[in-house]
């Protein structure tokens, strides 16, 4: 058997396998993981600070005013036992925020159980959440503890709560009201003491109006709510988070100090980050794998153009300005220094060549004076000052 890896490592590995990123684990380590996976009963956030990005670690580098306001709100909400509803786009760190709420409460040190409600089929979700007795259904060869019982005394985090079937929403409402669960196939309820933190990347109000989410459950969940801004809406966090991820991954990779150069910083700040913090982390990880001489450069950052394609789709039609806008977006994402001057020089040089090096025609084409064209051509070295 290959090198043994711990359960926290196995969980991190599983998360990265889903992202097509094995983080350098060998086939032997993968084999070891699959062997251990059979014995894993709970999928909670791992506790290893060296292997995970905890909210406490990232909170230390948050600098944007919106993030600081969010953290201040969490400090007020966390000490109570009130249910919390977290709203935010995919990749904004909803699970980490939930863990932070748990860590600031009197339940710290007790179980924190994270469950993705969209990960189970409708006929499995009840058994997973509330447990089942032996013989409750075909294949139930032994009794099983549900996630709520596993979280007893602590916090249960239900991610993508909007994906719960309506039939399960009714039972969840009863659990919250009565503070007890009834296992599938059982006759007696089991008392529980659990705080619920739920999260969604959609507006549950709209799901309520559409008849896909129970209104009474919505109000029960939304005792306290936290809205996580997207990364593009809190630009003050981009560079601090980038530096944090550089530090984390360089240590994992065994690198020395890594510097993010100015062009790379500009590229990071100008990107729209449709995948939020998760996209930033993966971009930094990839960049460190290919960067040279302990310096992370602009060309090392392979950023997505999803936002550009999405904007183009939403426009609904192509216009003559689209190619120019595309080119400008690519320049913005490349993070060139002195971008405005670079664009001006490129426009004048290209127009000058298009007009067969005729300054008068170039000026007429661009709608500027010949003196402006001549001065810029001299400055960029395209013509002599004596010409």
Inter-residue contact 78 to 226 (CB < 8 Å): no
Q: Is the pLDDT of residue 179 over 90?
A: yes
What average pLDDT does this structure show over 226-254? Answer: 93
**Using only C-alpha atoms, what is the Rg of the chain?**
27
Domain end (from 227, 255, 279): 227
What digits encode the pLDDT tens for the residues 345-362?
889 989 898 888 888 888
What is the C-alpha to C-alpha distance for residues 339 and 125, in angstroms, rounded to an integer?
Answer: 53
What digits encode the pLDDT tens for the residues 255-313?
999 999 999 999 999 999 999 999 999 999 999 999 998 999 999 999 877 654 454 44
CATH number at residue 179: 3.40.50.300
What is the C-alpha to C-alpha distance for residues 89 and 232, in angstroms, rounded to an integer?
Answer: 11
Q: What are φ and ψ of residue 380, in 5° steps?
A: -90, 0
Residue 135's contacts (CB-CB under 8 Å, 6 or more residues apart) are 185
What digits encode the pLDDT tens for the residues 119-139?
888 778 888 999 888 888 887
18 and 90 assigned to the same domain: no
What digits encode the pLDDT tens for the residues 6-53?
433 433 333 343 343 333 444 444 444 434 433 333 333 333 333 334
Q: Is the pLDDT of residue 152 over 90?
A: yes
Domain membership of residue 11 as a residue range: 1-43+320-387
| Residue 333 forms part of a structural domain | yes
What average pLDDT does this structure show over 205-231? Answer: 93
User: Cβ-count burial of 147 within 10 angstroms (0-12 exposed, 13-18 middle, 19+ buried)?
Assistant: buried
34 and 126 assigned to the same domain: no
Average pLDDT value over all residues in the chain: 80
Q: Is the pLDDT of residue 387 over 80?
A: no
| Residue 286 forms part of a structural domain | no
Q: Is the pLDDT of residue 244 over 80?
A: yes
Beta strands in 75-211, from DSSP E residues, in sequence order: 84-87, 112-116, 155-159, 180-181, 190-191, 195-200
222 and 95 assigned to the same domain: yes
Q: How many domains does the chain have?
A: 2
| Residue 281 forms part of a structural domain | no
96 and 213 assigned to the same domain: yes
Inter-residue contact 231 to 67 (CB < 8 Å): no
What is the C-alpha to C-alpha distance for residues 32 and 26, in angstroms, rounded to an integer?
Answer: 10
Residue 196's contacts (CB-CB under 8 Å, 6 or more residues apart) are 83, 84, 155, 156, 158, 176, 221
What is the C-alpha to C-alpha distance for residues 210 and 330, in angstroms, rounded to an integer?
Answer: 39
């Amino acid at each position: 058997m290959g090198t043994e890896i711990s359960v926290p490592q196995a969980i991190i590995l599983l998360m990265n396998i889903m992202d097509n990123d094995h983080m350098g684990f060998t086939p032997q380590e993968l084999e070891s993981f699959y062997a251990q996976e059979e014995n894993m009963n709970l999928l909670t956030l791992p506790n290893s600070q060296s292997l995970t990005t905890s909210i406490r670690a990232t909170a230390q580098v948050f600098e944007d005013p919106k993030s600081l306001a969010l953290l201040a709100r969490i400090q007020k909400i966390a000490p109570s036992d009130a249910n919390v509803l977290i709203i935010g786009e995919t990749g904004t760190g909803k699970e980490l925020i939930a863990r932070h709420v748990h860590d600031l409460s009197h339940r710290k040190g007790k179980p924190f159980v994270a469950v993705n409600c969209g990960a189970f089929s409708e006929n499995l979700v009840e058994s997973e959440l509330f447990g089942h007795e032996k013989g409750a259904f075909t294949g139930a060869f032994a009794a099983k503890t549900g996630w709520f019982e596993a979280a007893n005394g602590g916090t249960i985090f239900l991610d993508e709560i909007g994906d719960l079937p309506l039939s399960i929403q009714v039972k969840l409402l009863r659990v919250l009201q009565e503070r007890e669960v009834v296992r599938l196939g059982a006759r007696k309820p089991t008392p529980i003491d659990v705080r619920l933190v739920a999260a969604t990347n959609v507006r549950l109000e709209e799901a309520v109006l559409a008849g896909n989410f129970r209104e009474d459950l919505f109000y029960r969940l939304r005792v306290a709510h936290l809205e996580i801004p997207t990364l593009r809406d809190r630009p003050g966090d981009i560079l601090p988070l980038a530096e944090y991820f550089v530090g984390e991954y360089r240590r994992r990779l065994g690198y020395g100090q890594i510097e993010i150069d100015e062009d790379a910083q500009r590229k990071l700040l100008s990107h729209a980050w449709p995948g939020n913090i998760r996209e930033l982390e993966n971009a930094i990880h990839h960049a460190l794998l290919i960067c040279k001489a302990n310096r992370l450069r602009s060309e090392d950052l392979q950023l997505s153009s999803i936002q550009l394609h999405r904007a183009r789709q939403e426009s609904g039609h192509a216009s003559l300005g689209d190619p120019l806008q595309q080119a400008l977006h690519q320049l913005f994402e490349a993070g060139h220094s002195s971008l405005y001057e670079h664009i001006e020089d490129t426009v004048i040089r290209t127009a000058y060549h298009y007009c067969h090096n005729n300054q008068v025609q170039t000026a007429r084409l661009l709608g500027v004076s010949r003196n402006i064209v001549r001065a810029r051509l001299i400055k960029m070295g395209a013509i002599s000052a004596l010409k």
